[in-house]
Structures are given as C-alpha cells and as structure tokens.
Chain A
C-alpha cells in the first residue's frame, strides 16, 4: 500500500463495537478538549487520554506509527516556527534565533493539537467500518435537514468517497507501476513529474463515477427520502460511558481554560 492513513482494521474490540455516532461525537468532544486546553502541557495531557482507547482497540504500535509517519516533518516545521518566532521571555539564543518560554509553550500546544487530532481521527477510521461511519454521520446530521442540510446526500457522498479510496489507491499503484515500466521515476518536486500518474487517475475516476451513477439509476436510486437502513444504529451502555467520559474531558478542559488559562 502506498498510503495507509485512514485504513480500517476490522476487529472485535469494545472500541470497534461502539456505535459510530458515539465515536464521531467522541472525536468532536476530544477535539474541543484539545482546542480548549490553554497550555502545551495541558493539551498533551488531554491528548494522552487517547492512549487507553488505542489499547482497548488493540491497535498495534507499528500500525499507529505508519499512520503518523507522513505527518512528522509537517509537525516539526510547525513546532520549529512557533519556537523560533514567538516573542517573550528568552530562555536561550542560538545566533539570531531566540528560544522563548512562550515559544516553547505555543510550539508544544500546536504540535499536541495537530498530532493528537490526527491520531484520534486515525483511531476512529481504523476501528470503524467506513459504511457505518457514513451511516452515523447521516444520523447525526439529520436534525439539520429541516434547515435545508442535505444529510442523505452528504452521507452518500462520504460513503462513496470512502468506498473508492482503496480502489483509487490500488489504481494509483497500478498506474504508477505502468509508468515506472516506462522509465518514470516520480522523483523531483515538479508537478510535471506527477502528470503521468495524476491524469490517468482522473480519467479513470471520472469514468468510474459515470458508471456508478448509471448503475445506481438502473437500480432506481432516487435520493435519500424515505430510505430504510440495513443496519439500524443502537446506543448501548458502553456508548453512554464512552460519551460521558469524552464529555467530562471536554468540560474539564474548558473549565481549566476559563479558570487558569489566558
């Protein structure tokens, strides 16, 4: 596989069995907690609450590492910029670069927010069947339908997008091999070098989209109104506990910010 981000690892853990709505709401609350945390240290501690979830889900450290590896450079750049360009109390100076206490704090804060959010999203994707995820999203968005939010269509788009991620990845790998057989290297930063991959991929994606639209119409698909589900979603005790914990985390973090934050 070229890219493993967002891969679903089927399993039977308690996290896998949570209702997709709980996991989506949990991610939202976790995000709120992360954003509310006022200091780098607080955000790191807040973020670390994902660890028991990872352990319960039985995700291997190697898998987590592969998910986050592409992000490392990006995170380091964020961190270095924050550390180097935030004015404040100078702790150390290396040439013209001043490392400040505030810089370290903001650097850690930004790092922790992005790192843990991506980690949590990866855990969500790894433990939730993409179709269940789209179902859950549709149910969560349904109240918005009164306001004109096309929840069914959005969920369908998401389902289709998720459904075709592995297909397109496979296709990308195939086309890449074919171009490598023609001596392509895909090295260098110029966008031009990617054309032999990108254009065939687009052409086939459009062709697939057309075929899919026709296949759906042929089976009388006419949009989301009044559709029934094959899998009904049910909250269970574990879902309430999970949401309670996530809610406490968000509330605690917000309280900490109001009380001690700047």
Chain B
C-alpha cells in the first residue's frame, strides 16, 4: 500500500472563516518506509496524520492510495482501501470502551467483517504482538490496567485490523520510560515485517533519530526540512528556529565541535557517539 499526498492543503472552518493548517504538502509513503513527521506544537502534525489516514479530506490537492485518488473514510464507497491504513491516535487508551480487553481489541476486526475462530486468532496475535498475554489479560476490564498497558491494548486494537501502513500520533507521549520502551518495541516489531510501512508523528527527537528512516519537519503548516535523520539533525540551528531541539547526542556533538573537537555532527546512536568520542580522544 502506498499513500501519496499531492499538493495537499487543509484549512479548518471556524465561524465562517478559513483557518489554514497545512499548505502544499507533497509526500509519499511506500512499503518499507519509516517516515517521521515532526514539528513544534501547532505545526499541523496531527492534521497531516488524519489526512494520511483518510479521517479528514484535504481542502485542496489530493490523496492517493496505490496511485488511485481516494476520498475520506466513510465517503462514497471508499472504505475498503483505507482498511489497510491503521491509525493510532494520541492517547489511544482514551478510546477503550469494551468490558474486556479481548472484546475491545476485537472491535476493529469485527467491523471489518471477521468473526469466529479467525477473529479470536487475530485478537490473540495482536495482544501478543504488544507483549500482553491473551490468557491473563484478555478477560480483564481494560480500565483495571496500568496506563502503559492500556495504551498497548489500544495499539493492539489497531494491529488486529492488520494494516499495511501504521500511522501513530505521539504514541509514547505521557508514558513512563518502561512503557515508552515497550511501545517503541511494538513499533519496531511491526516495521520489521515485510511490506509494512510506519508513519510516526512525534516531537521527541531522540525517538525520531532512533527509529525513522526519513524525517519531515513541519513549520507552520509547511514542509520546512525533509531528509534522512542524519541530514536533518546535522542542521541543529535550523531545527531550533523551527521550535525543535536536536536529540541529546546530536547536541553533545555540537558542543564538542564548538570546543574544537573534530567529531561528526550526524550521530544518531549511542554506539556511534562513543566511537566518535573515543576516536577523538585517540583511545
């Protein structure tokens, strides 16, 4: 599944006035892509995510699925292709409603027309994929779980629909470090499967650096920077002007460079940083 946005603009109607949110966005997400969309608060990240998931329709430009122009979900007969795009909202645990965890996870696939043993298998697989045991957790009320567990149940509810593209809006916001790591692992495991693509909306630069293959920086509804994480984080000053702070390791390298150390600026992982510093110290 390939999602394409061509010259997409979006504006909210507020009391008869147009409030532009996104302007002239072009992007493409193909199988195997891991795209991170980042930007300061109010830059249009979440709106872009909803456009890519078919939950909003652009006010100008067009959204295509596998090259075919697509209207929003629920408009016309266009639901079928959107089924292959899964969207995890901000704080998705707030959408939990069923009496048991298993029932809640089953909600999505049941809406796709699944039932019986196939549905059960999907639910179990999805719960395992997020690191929850279907036997012990499946029968409990979702409201008795911890925040991090609730979030993973909500993500399982999307995974159970077996999307090809997974769009996640700030999936780790508000979680404790352990919960954050678990969610990151879920995303990694999904991305490793063949033919899958991930779109991650996040303002956590460390997370973006760690996971993404391509990064788009939004600033006031426009694409300000686009490239690989290395390309993007090398431009520390530009990032700051868009209201973002480079990830800690990149910042460290910038400080070292300013002190006269010949270290590279495009460092993404701890191992790379260690090697660079050791090389500089000549150890």
Using a CB–CB distance below 8 Å, which chain A residues touch chain B?
A: 9, 60, 174-175, 177-185, 195-200, 203-204
Contacts and interface: CB of A to CB of B under 8 A. Distances in A.
Contact of A177 (B55, B97, B158): B55
Interface stretch (B105-113, B123-131, B177-185, B238-246): B105-113
B174 interface: no
Given A177-B50, A196-B95, A200-B97, A182 B55 contact: no
A196 B73 CA distance: 18
B94 interface: yes
A204 B143 CA distance: 12
B97 A195 contact: yes
B15 A9 contact: yes
B94 A181 contact: no
Given A180-B55, A182-B107, A184-B107, A196 B97 contact: yes
B36 interface: no
A175 B55 CA distance: 12
B221 interface: no
A174 B83 contact: no
Interface in B134-171: 143, 157-158, 161
A195 B92 CA distance: 16
15 contacts: A174-B89, A175-B95, A179-B95, A179-B107, A180-B74, A181-B73, A181-B86, A182-B111, A183-B108, A184-B107, A185-B74, A196-B95, A196-B107, A199-B97, A203-B94
B141 to A, nearest CB: 11
Nearest to B92: A178
B88 to A, nearest CB: 8
B161 A183 contact: yes
Contacts of A203: 94, 143
Interface residues of B, number: 26
Nearest to B108: A182
B3 interface: no
Interface in B69-93: 73-74, 79, 83, 86-87, 89, 92
B102 interface: no
B161 to A, nearest CB: 7
Nearest to A9: B15
Nearest to A184: B111
B15 A182 contact: no
Contacts of B96: 200
A182 B79 CA distance: 11
A183 B83 contact: yes
A191 to B, nearest CB: 13
A9 B17 CA distance: 13
B157 A182 contact: yes
A33 to B, nearest CB: 31
Contacts of B108: 182-183
A179 B158 CA distance: 10
B51 to A, nearest CB: 12
B95 A178 contact: yes
Contacts of B98: 195
A180 B79 CA distance: 10
B164 to A, nearest CB: 14
